[in-house]
Amino acid sequence: MYFAEVSILDGLSGERVFNVDIEDGQEQLINYDINANIGPMKAIIKTFTGIEVKDEKISIDVKTVVRNATVSAIEVIQESRKITGLESNDIPPSF
């Protein structure tokens, strides 16, 4: 996930704080404050691994704690899958 604090008015720590839950309420970021983490007018990429998606739809919930939560972009990259009981030639090409 990509985050940036681009508002000069929001340049103080504690002015924008939020939580990010990914898949089934897994708290990935708790009370996250972009400005406190990297400062104003800067961007950061946060990477989350080991997220198990069970229904082929990834759920991302961003909850405001203080003021307005913000997410600049989301990038989803599939990690390698463990497949048991299949031979490699049994896997369809689109898999």
Residues 6+ apart with CB under 8 A from 33: 13, 14, 16, 17
pLDDT of residue 18: 96
Q: Give residue 87's pLDDT band: very low, low, confident or very high (50, 70, 90).
A: low
The average pLDDT across 28-55 equals 90
Does the pTM surpass 0.95? The reply is no
d(CA 49, CA 26): 12
pLDDT at 36: 92
Amino acid 28: pLDDT? 87
pLDDT at position 71: 95
81 pLDDT higher than 80: no
